[in-house]
Structure 1
């Protein structure tokens, strides 16, 4: 599936500002992949990556399907060019849907504010989230209607023990009730969300999927 010469996109998990890098596969031996030094897609420069540095890695195969997996640097090798060694396990790989964002069940703290400061803000818990929007428990009293735009803040715990705060505008898409739920549900679609924040949410979804898959195994 991963071939020599293939381009990999790496997202550093431990940097203060998550950075995206690109690299190419130089060699492969079993579960070890040798890559050239990753180039920062913003600055065009490389960085110092010590052993143990963790990344989310994505690539596109011949059928244009996107896959993602988490890895870490397990060593370095000097050849015609300096290379990093990363671990690859097909069991940890997740297929990413390209046409729509992957949605996962996730209970996250969220606060919702009226942009005009007319309606009172409220705090709630999400039931699921994706890179495109989320669903949250909604108070019994009617505050908002379909099409309303609100300010939201979502508390996003990451696997690296950091907590991110996603603040963006969102549109109210639907308010509905499920028979098994005590409260109505509110679906929101992100508006004008920064690409950095969207990528953080996508990473949270990926990490949640991976945890669920490991539990099943």
Structure 2
């Protein structure tokens, strides 16, 4: 079930700031196209103030279906449109990505970082990340490497911060999807299964810094 024009979309902004991430907003859906959901500027019901969104912001949202059932999905701001009023364009989710179970997602950002991967004692290699987040990571590697679905891998990723520090962040993850690329390489999508809280917070901080850089462009 996809959201429709004139429905109310309830949302929270995925942020490294715990207080900001708890604030709930609502907005009316003004238009739905093949790829975009256009909404009016979100309103904070408690304060009555409008929320300014930026391109790249990630949102956890829900709308009400028949019988008052909440339908949840995550999306991101892809752009803006000037109509009679200013509209915010959101990435339209695939129908299968909409669930009746709330799952707060972590902020994910595009980033090319070096990642070391241990698939087994015999298979270890270096790849490059495509995106990173507090809940998982995607990386590109050579196509001949036998990465299978649901494989458990041990990794560390090299993460640079704006203050000049560079961290080696270790984690264990599960392969949730593998996609063959036209270049002959493959894209592996990983969900973290074991990562220390302090290491996860470092990744979230990196994502937040990258998002701030993106906003300034």
d(CA) in 2 for partners of 1:91 and 1:173?
31
Stretches of structure 2 lacking an aligned partner (at least 5 in a row): 1-15, 26-51, 61-103
Quote the residue 2:116 is aligned against.
111
Aligned counterpart, 2:107: 102
Larger Rg: 1
* CA positional deviation for 1:97: 4.0
Query: Does the aligned pair in 1 maintain the 2:173–2:193 contact within 8 Å?
Result: yes
User: Secondary structure of 2:130's partner?
Assistant: strand
Q: 2:145 aligns with which of 142, 146, 160?
A: 142
In the alignment, what sits opposite 2:189? 187
| Aligned residue among 203, 206, 209 for 1:204 | 206
CA pair 100-91 structure 1, distance change in 2 beyond 3 A = closer
1:133 partnered with 2:143: no
TM-score by length of 2: 0.54
**Cα displacement (A) at 1:106:** 0.1
Structure 1 unaligned regions, length at least 5: 1-55, 66-89
2:178 corresponds to which of 175, 184, 194: 175
Q: Spell out, residue by residue over 1:8-35, the C-alpha distance to the aligned partner (whole angstroms, 9 max, x if none).
A: xxxxxxxxxxxxxxxxxxxxxxxxxxxx
Residue 59 in 1 paired to residue 19 in 2?
Answer: yes
Secondary structure (helix, strand or coil) at the match of 1:198 reads helix
Equivalent residue number for residue 151 of structure 1: 154
1:142 positional shift: 3.4
Note if contact 2:126-2:141 (Cα within 8 Å) is conserved in structure 1. no
Q: Is the 8 A contact 2:107 2:207 kept in 1?
A: yes
Measured at CA, do residues 209 and 172 of structure 1 come closer, stay the same or move farther in structure 2, by a change above 3 Å?
Answer: same
TM-score norm. by structure 1 comes to 0.54
Deviation at 1:61, TM superposition (A): 7.7
Asked if 1 retains the 8 angstrom alpha-carbon contact of 2:134 and 2:204, the reply is yes
- After TM superposition, give the deviation of residue 178 of structure 1 in Å: 3.8
Structure 1's consecutive aligned runs of 4 or more residues displaced over 6 angstroms after TM superposition are none
Per the alignment, residue 12 of structure 2 pairs with: none
Partners of 1:61 and 1:165 in 2: CA distance: 27
**1:63-117, Cα deviation, whole Å (9 max, x unpaired):** 446xxxxxxxxxxxxxxxxxxxxxxxx899x966451111111000000002x41
